[in-house]
């Protein structure tokens, strides 16, 4: 800011500055990538061509800002935005840092002038709390998609509504048949809804690969990286050339077994890790390791509903587009007596509820509806009795009991079902818990 600038007078603005409370630095917003992650660059002359330009007119800017915020999927917490004239970036960067780190009445006045975006950010945050999901399913052209077998009803039946609304990849396969974007298809696909900056929704269908490719967006993977992927995800990050640009960026990689592919997620300088993760106080070193793409072991996590603490690994998951708490890996390393307390594991696309898990840990079997199984190119929903089974390696896994009727329909059991039920009853008590 120029020294003679009146701090009570609004500044003309054509760029957005963002202050990261965790890093205590100020950068210039360069835009939002295809994954909805806020991008920013250092305020240096060589980066000037990357600055996102905005209209100086107040009303026009308000409209722009609303659309801009809606396009961002990365968390806005710990970030503060400021509007600045392009010619005064250098001065304003120093003013912002000094005013925030050394509180003074004069500094507060200057910040008030620069931070006209603060109210707009807060307003958008409040609106987001009250309403709408990231993806508005009402804006999807379902009529066109129904012609290839992808409908809102099928999305609901497969339990994928919440993931679609969050802009996440489906965790089940959909059978598409017909003309999709000018291409004849008859195969299984993972589905993803992508919001463009103009608010329209694009549908992406990701088909199944016959073999895992050694290349991710043209970048080769070595043998060690391939092995890590097969086991679930890449430890650390990998440098990838961003599509449509020549920019080399760090990316996280997660393996999607549904399509046999490595799924990338570009790292953003504005990504943050909470100070508290399920009751665990996250250290600076742990934050750095997680942001670096590594798994961090945490043994003192606490359930939201109360009860005994549990352990898990925390890491950035490219499929879930953010932090994932994975207790499965953690408990595989522990003794067999405590492995079964792993929470919220998914069985064939259906999440085990705390109530169901409690019954299973007590030695009972529970009826779980909404799982999916594949027959050739079709995926069918089904239900079954599930309990714990000790495997040959001493680990616990899920035990699927066949020929057991749905507890809601057990009046019509045939002789075979009744016989199987008697055999089943010797292994554990049947508990008809479905939620």
Q: What are the residue ranges spanned by the domains of the chain?
A: 15-130, 137-207, 210-333, 342-435
Which of these ranges, 34-48, 161-175, 236-250, has the smallest mean pLDDT? 34-48
| Residues contacting 136, CB < 8 A, separation 6+ | 165, 201
Backbone angles phi, psi at 15, to 5 degrees: -140, 165
Cβ-in-10-Å burial (0-12, 13-18, 19+) of 220 comes to exposed
Instruction: Please calculate the CA angle 20-132-274 and round it to the nearest 5 degrees.
Output: 30
Query: For 32-41, 146-155, 322-331, which range has the lowest pLDDT when averaged over its residues?
Result: 32-41
- CA nearest neighbour of 50 among 247, 198, 266, 265: 247
Highest mean pLDDT among 43-52, 311-320, 340-349: 311-320
- Highest mean pLDDT out of 69-83, 232-246, 253-267, 317-331: 253-267
pLDDT in tens, 348-402: 767 777 677 777 777 788 888 877 776 655 667 778 888 877 766 556 677 877 5
Distance (Å, rounded) from C-alpha 136 to C-alpha 200?
Answer: 9
Does the predicted model carry a pTM greater than 0.75? Answer: no
Predicted confidence at residue 385, as pLDDT, reads 85
Which of 42-56, 74-88, 239-253, 401-415 reaches the highest mean pLDDT? 239-253
Q: Please write the tens of the pLDDT for every residue from 314-345.
A: 999 999 988 888 877 666 665 444 444 444 45
Between CA 304 and CA 137 the distance in angstroms is 29
Query: Residue 202's closest CA among 254, 167, 243?
Result: 167
- pLDDT tens for 270-282 read 787 888 888 888 8
In this predicted model, what pLDDT tens digit does every residue of 402-432 receive, in sequence order? Answer: 544 555 544 444 344 444 443 443 344 555 4
Q: Confidence class of residue 53 from pLDDT cuts 50, 70 and 90?
A: confident
Say whether pLDDT at 86 is over 50: yes
What is the reported pLDDT for 244?
A: 75
> Of the candidates 139, 174, 131, 141, which has an alpha carbon nearest to the alpha carbon of residue 156?
174
pLDDT surpasses 60 at 152:
yes
What share of the chain in percent tops pLDDT 70? Answer: 67
Q: Which of 91-105, 110-124, 156-170, 407-421 has the lowest mean pLDDT?
A: 407-421
């Amino acid at each position: 800011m120029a020294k003679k600038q009146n701090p009570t007078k609004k500044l003309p603005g054509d760029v957005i500055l963002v202050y990261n409370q965790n890093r205590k630095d100020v950068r210039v917003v360069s835009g939002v990538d295809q994954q909805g992650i806020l991008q920013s660059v250092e305020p240096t002359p060589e980066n000037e061509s990357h600055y996102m330009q905005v209209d100086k007119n107040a009303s026009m800017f308000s409209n722009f800002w609303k659309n801009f915020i809606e396009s961002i999927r990365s968390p806005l917490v710990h970030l503060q935005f400021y509007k600045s004239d392009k010619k005064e970036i250098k001065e304003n960067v120093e003013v912002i840092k000094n005013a925030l780190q050394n509180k003074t009445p004069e500094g507060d006045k200057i910040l008030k002038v620069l931070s006209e975006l603060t109210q707009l950010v807060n307003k958008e945050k409040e609106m987001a709390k009250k309403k709408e999901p990231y993806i508005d399913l009402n804006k999807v052209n379902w009529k066109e998609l129904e012609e290839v077998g992808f409908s809102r009803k099928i999305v609901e039946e497969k339990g994928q509504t919440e993931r679609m609304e969050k802009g996440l990849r489906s965790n089940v396969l959909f059978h598409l048949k017909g003309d999709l974007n000018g291409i004849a298809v008859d195969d299984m696909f993972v589905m993803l809804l992508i919001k463009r900056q103009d608010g329209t929704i694009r549908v992406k269908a990701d088909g199944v690969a016959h073999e895992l490719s050694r290349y991710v967006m043209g970048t080769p993977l070595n043998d060690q990286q391939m092995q890590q992927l097969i086991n679930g995800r890449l430890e650390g990050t990998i440098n990838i050339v961003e599509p449509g640009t020549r920019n080399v960026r760090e990316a996280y990689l997660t393996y999607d077994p549904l399509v046999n592919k490595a799924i990338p997620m570009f790292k953003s300088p504005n990504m943050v890790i909470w100070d508290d993760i399920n009751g665990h106080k996250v250290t600076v070193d742990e934050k750095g390791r997680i942001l670096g793409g590594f798994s961090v072991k945490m043994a003192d996590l606490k359930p939201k509903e109360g009860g005994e603490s549990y352990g898990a690994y925390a890491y950035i998951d490219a499929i879930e587009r953010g932090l994932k708490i994975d207790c499965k890996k953690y408990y595989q390393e522990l003794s067999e007596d405590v492995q079964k307390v792993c929470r919220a594991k998914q069985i064939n696309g259906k999440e085990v509820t705390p109530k169901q898990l409690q019954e299973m840990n007590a030695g009972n079997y529970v009826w779980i509806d909404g799982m999916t199984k594949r027959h050739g190119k079709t995926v069918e929903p089904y239900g079954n009795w599930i309990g714990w089974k000790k495997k040959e390696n001493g680990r616990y896994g899920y035990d699927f009991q066949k020929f057991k009727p749905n507890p809601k329909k057990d009046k019509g059991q045939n002789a075979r079902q009744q016989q199987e039920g008697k055999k089943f009853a010797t292994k554990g008590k049947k508990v008809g818990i479905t939620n």
